[in-house]
Amino acid sequence: MRLNPAALGPLTAPAPAPEVSTRSRRTSREATARESRPPSSDREAGDARDSGALQQAQAASELAIEIRLARDAGVPDTEIFEVTAAFDPDGDLAANRRVIETLRKARLTALGYDVTMRGDEYGRLRAIAALMDTPGGTLTDGDIQWLRDRLAADPDYLDRLPRRGMAAPATGDGDQPANGFMPGLDASQAETVSTLLAP
């Protein structure tokens, strides 16, 4: 049977597709791109995990070096084991760094260094050293009296400073003294101070 064209009614042209502006298309593409990227919080969390893992790996490497140096310095294996037993590669980074610093102090002590200096004394001495190393720098009356007071209590105070100070902190940045020891004053600085204080 053939279809009667008249039964279809009047033919009309299809309605034109709605126009999409360039701006709409661009906005749509940007939205799609944003959806395809991970949220910034996820990226930041991933970066933090990567940074933490790297710092822990650096701490483990620093500890291995410190263990070797401690043995070379004559620190007993029993003491090394007791100190390093608290090191946890997956644990708290600050706690792991304290383990490294404790072992470093034991090594320096075995080598004859005095690492019992308090932070405030060390800071005062380093400020004095900075003044002496500055062209035209002079010690204040307070600095001179502070040094005289220590010499009155210990006549060998200045002589002992090159081997008396603090163990370098375990920061993992590599910017540390070669042997991990930070003297209150080095030999040259101690001699300069001694000359300045001479009557």
Residue 52, CA distances (Å) to 58, 65, 91 in order: 10, 20, 11
Range of weakest confidence among 43-57, 89-103, 140-154: 43-57
C-alpha to C-alpha distance for 35 and 186, rounded to whole angstroms: 60
Q: State pTM to two decimals.
A: 0.71
Q: What does the mean pLDDT of the chain come to?
A: 82
- DSSP, res 181: E
Token pair listed for 42:
């996820």
Token pair recorded at residue 121:
């004394």
Q: Is it the case that residue 115 has pLDDT exceeding 90?
A: yes
At 22, the pLDDT band (50, 70, 90 cuts) reads low
The residue ranking higher by pLDDT, 17 or 70, is: 70
Could you tell me which of 90, 81, 83 has the C-alpha nearest to residue 59? 90
DSSP secondary structure string for all residues of 130-143: HHHHSTT----HHH
Q: What is the predicted pLDDT for the residue at 7?
A: 41
Domain segments of the chain: what residues?
44-112, 115-199
User: Mean pLDDT over residues 120-146, rounded?
Assistant: 92
For the chain, what's the residue count?
Answer: 199
Give the DSSP H/E element, type plus range, for residue 166.
strand 165-167
34 pLDDT band, cuts 50/70/90, is low
**75 pLDDT more than 70:** yes
Report the run of H or E that residue 18 belongs to, with start and end: none
Q: Is it the case that residue 194 has pLDDT exceeding 80?
A: yes
Q: What is the average per-residue pLDDT within 30-38? A: 55
Q: What angle (nearest 5°) sits at the alpha carbon of residue 171, between those of residues 131 and 84?
A: 130
State the pLDDT at residue 19.
Answer: 55
**Residue-wise pLDDT tens digits, 134-180:** 888 788 999 999 999 999 999 999 999 999 999 999 876 666 787 89
More confident position, 96 or 24? 96
pLDDT band at 133 (very low <50, low <70, confident <90, very high): confident
Helix runs in the chain, H state only: 22-36, 40-73, 77-84, 93-110, 119-133, 141-153, 157-160, 187-197
- pLDDT at position 108 is 97
